[in-house]
Chain A
Amino acid sequence: MPQEVLLSVKDLRTEFFSSKTSSVTAIHNITFDIYKGEILGLVGESGCGKSVTSLSIMQLLKDTPGKVTNGSAVLDGVDLVKADDAQIRDIRGGKMSMIFQEPMSALNPSMRIDKQMVETICLHRDMTKEQALAHAADMLKKVGIPDPPRVLKNYPHQLSGGMSQRVMIAMALSNDPKLLIADEPTTALDVTIQAQILDLMKKIQKEENSSILLITHDLGVVAEMCTRVIVMYAGKIVEEAPVETLFANPSHPYTQGLIASVPKLGSGVKVLPSIPGSVPDLSSMPTGCRFAPRCKYATDKCREKEPELVNIGENQKCRCWLKQEG
């Protein structure tokens, strides 16, 4: 079905410079699209580059040694990589906003919630302070906060983890963003609170028909939330597929291993198949396929030459020699 592309990321490459000449590449020419109204999951383990991807799209690498050295990320006709600071400021918090893993540290601890929210709203909307405050209260109500006027008067430290994540979401949604990037939004929360927040995100996404890029390591969350999934390993996309296909018929050995290694409630097994070894260091990547040293199917070819990401079926892409001829 023809879907409208909202954000198109092409050949995006981000390097981290330890000095002027030496660098490690955190993400390697990754290409993907986010369609309107979908929840795209970006899955991988720590160090796979999933968070760097989101920071690169949001242009939040300014104060780090990281730099986007190649590619583009086009949102609504604007290339975020080439956009100047003023343009980015306009887009960030407006058309595109982000929620983080640690809600506590993403909120300014010395500012009351009302001030932080009004500030965000007035930056992007033509509203008076009073209107903005009313809008902030509306947003808090929408994310299920029972007593918005009281919460608005609070400082972040007076809120619980779940509550501050709700405030973060309310803030991120206050300017009707077309794209919401959620970087591990529930990882720091308890299961029962996670269930609340996921429920909320799904509800709001449906109501607003916005798009969400959900970055997570939790396959359970992916299965429950996403329409499409991208799996990353060591800075590269290894598989891309609709969520049902991914879980029913994972094609890359890494995806297979990852799905198999998650305990499922009620499965009754005592031992899980697991992926041996550990993720390679960015500075010393193996030659050939990056997953080869941990892959039980690896052949000499895998260890010598790296496969490309190719279409292997309807909407499914995979980077593995086993799925490719030649």
Chain B
Amino acid sequence: MSNTQNEQVNTNPSFEENYIDENVSVQTNKTKEFIKKFMKRKTAVVAFAIMCFLLLIAVVGPSIAPYPADAYDYDNILAGPSARHWFGTDQFGRDIFSRILAGAPLTLGVSLSSVIVGAALGTVLGLLAGYYGGWLEMLVMRGADVLFSFPDILLAIAIVALLGPGIINVFIAVAVFTVPSFARIMRSATLTVKNSLYVEVARSLGCKDGRILFVHIFPGTLQSLIVNFTMRIGSAIMAASSLSFLGFGANVTDPEWGAMLSQSRSYLNTAPHMVYLPGLVIFITVLAFNLFGDGLRDTLDPKIK
């Protein structure tokens, strides 16, 4: 039986021609795998939770604060943490906890929006510089070098000094000092992807520059973009707070976290909680964004298990 069957198949030359190869590996769900891998990084998960909590605070914070941000309680001036005032009060008897909640949208909002604007600008410059090269690349990269040669905060101070104080100017300053880091990272990511074979293939198929740049190159650089983005938020919060601390940023009466620190400086001996608690909040926020960024980078790196 088997022998006759063999011969039948053997003389059938179309066994190969009609063979449809369906031996494709199991469909993998990239999102699911990504989440699974990310969940293994405990610190990053905790950081992510804190980050979400902080962003939630920024949205609902002001409305759930126990006191208005500028409500004076003259009976409790410079009071330490208590059941009534969880984080204590400042020199005017204002509730620090409420002020931190009320300041969250301001501090986080300025940092986030300035990083978004800076990142967008830096990304476009980096993409174009990496793709076209030549004088454009030269110009962008030398510009980035110049901006990089200032320490971050000094550059921001210089810009604010030029533009004058104010929260909008802090926003501009932080955005400007974010640009070069994105320009650099995007340029190198673009160069890597640009030299990959599939981009050469796209060129041989006749794709126009715009299509090559946005359909083929940009999605390949997205990973480095996202990772750098989360990392830069931390430093943007630092910079925005520092500028306000130095008196360049938000109005001193505003509940901006840096401004609050600046106000409390003179009471360091008498009411240390005024310094420690807002400081701690800034510290935790920056740490959370940075740890989340680290975790994200490791998760996206295929070489790290």
Which residues of A are found within 8 Å of B82, using beta-carbon distances?
A: none
Determine which of A274, A280, A281, A296 lies in contact with B10 in the assembled complex, contact meaning CB atoms within 8 Å.
Answer: A296
For the complex, give the distance between the alpha carbons of A297 and B2 in Å. Answer: 8
Q: Does B75 contact A (CB under 8 A)?
A: no
The reply to whether A278 and B10 form a contact with Cβ atoms under 8 Å apart is no
Contact call A276/B2, Cβ cutoff below 8 A? no
In the assembled complex, A322 has its CB within 8 A of some CB on chain B: yes
1/0 per position for B2-16, CB-CB distance to A under 8 A? 100110011010011
**B16 and A276 contacting across the interface, CB-CB below 8 Å:** yes
A297 touches B19 (CB 8 A): no
Taking a contact as CB atoms under 8 Å apart, the answer to whether A281 and B25 are in contact is yes
A201 to B26, CA, bound (A): 42
Contacting A at CB under 8 A, from B1-58, are: 2, 5-6, 9-10, 12, 15-16, 19, 21, 23, 25-26
- CB atoms of B9 and A276 under 8 A apart: no
Question: Given that A296-B15, A322-B2 are contacting pairs, would A278 and B21 also be in contact in the complex, using a CB cutoff of 8 Å?
Answer: yes
Given contacts A284-B26, A296-B15, contact A276 B5 (CB under 8 A): no
At the interface, yes or no: A263 with Cβ under 8 Å from chain B? no
The answer to whether A276 and B6 touch (CB under 8 A), given A284-B26, A296-B15, is: no
**Residue A299, interface by CB 8 Å:** yes
Q: CA A283 – CA B26 in complex, angstroms? A: 10
Interface residues on B, range: 10 to 19
Complex Cα distance, B21 from A277, in Å, reads 5
Taking the closest CB of chain B, its distance from the CB of A299, in whole angstroms, is 5
In contact, A293 and B2 (Cβ under 8 angstroms): no
Interface residues of A in 175-223 (CB under 8 A from B): none
Contacts of A109 in B (CB 8 A): none
Among B15, B21, B23, B26, which residue has the most Cβ atoms of chain A within 10 A? B23
Size range of the interface on A? 10 to 19
Contact of A297 among B6, B16, B21 (CB under 8 A): B6
Q: Beta-carbon contacts of A293-326 to B below 8 Å, as 1s and 0s? A: 1001101000000000000000000000010000
Taking CB atoms, residues of chain B closer than 8 Å to A296 are: 9-10, 12, 15
Distance from A21 Cβ to chain B, minimum over Cβ atoms (Å):
15
**A297 B23 Cβ-Cβ under 8 A:** no
Note all chain A residues with C-beta closer than 8 A to B15.
276, 296
- Contact at B23–A274, with CB atoms within 8 Å? no
Q: Is the CB of B23 within 8 A of A293?
A: yes
Whether A274 lies near B16 (C-beta < 8 A) is yes
Contacts of B9 in A (CB 8 A): 296-297
Residues of A within 8 A of B2 (CB): 297, 299, 322
The distance from the CB of A270 to the nearest CB of chain B, in whole angstroms, is 13
- How far, in whole Å, are A276 and B12 apart by their CA atoms in the complex? 13
Bound-state CA distance A297–B9 (Å) is 7
Q: Are A277 and B25 in contact (CB under 8 A)?
A: no
Task: Name B16's closest neighbour in chain A (CB-CB).
Answer: A276
Q: How far is the CB of B152 from chain A (nearest CB, A)?
A: 36
A302 to chain B, nearest CB (A): 10
A contact residues around B6 at 8 Å (CB): 297, 322
Q: Which of B10, B12, B19, B26 is A277 in contact with, Cβ under 8 Å?
A: B19
Q: CA A296 – CA B10 in complex, angstroms?
A: 7
Knowing A296-B10, A296-B15, the reply to whether A278 touches B5 (Cβ < 8 A) is no
* Per-position binary interface string of chain A over residues 260-281, scored 1 when its CB falls under 8 Å from any chain B CB and 0 otherwise: 0000000000000110111011
For residue B1, which residue of chain A has the nearest CB? A299
| C-alpha spacing A283/B23, complex, angstroms | 12
A322 to B6, CA, bound (A): 10
A289 smallest CB distance to B (angstroms): 13
Residues of A within 8 A of B5 (CB): 297, 299
> Which of B10, B21, B25, B26 sits near A276, CB closer than 8 Å?
B21
Given the complex of chains A and B, what is the CA–CA distance between A322 and B7 in angstroms? 13
A152 to B35 Cα, complex, angstroms: 52
Complex: A260 Cα to B9 Cα, angstroms: 16
CB contacts (< 8 Å) of B19 on chain A: these are 276-277
Among A274, A296, A322, the most chain B Cβ lie within 10 Å of the Cβ of A296
In the complex, chain B residues whose CB is within 8 Å of the CB of A297 = 2, 5-6, 9-10
A297 and B6 CA atoms in complex are apart in Å by 5
From B5, B19, B26, name the one whose CB has the most chain A CB atoms within 10 angstroms: B19
Contact A273 B16 (CB under 8 A): yes
Chain A nearest Cβ from B218, distance in angstroms: 32
How far is it, in angstroms, between the C-alpha of A280 and the C-alpha of B25 when the chains are bound?
9
Distance (Å) between the CB of B27 and the closest chain A CB?
A: 12
State the B residues within 8 Å of A (CB).
2, 5-6, 9-10, 12, 15-16, 19, 21, 23, 25-26
10 intermolecular pairs with C-beta atoms under 8 Å apart: A276-B21, A277-B23, A280-B23, A284-B26, A296-B15, A297-B2, A297-B5, A297-B9, A322-B2, A322-B6
Q: Top 10 closest A-B pairs, CB basis?
A: A276-B19, A296-B9, A276-B16, A296-B15, A297-B6, A277-B21, A278-B23, A281-B25, A299-B2, A277-B23
Q: Known contacts A276-B15, A281-B25, A299-B2; can you find 10 more A-B pairs with CB under 8 A? A: A273-B16, A276-B16, A276-B19, A276-B21, A277-B19, A277-B21, A283-B26, A296-B9, A297-B9, A299-B5
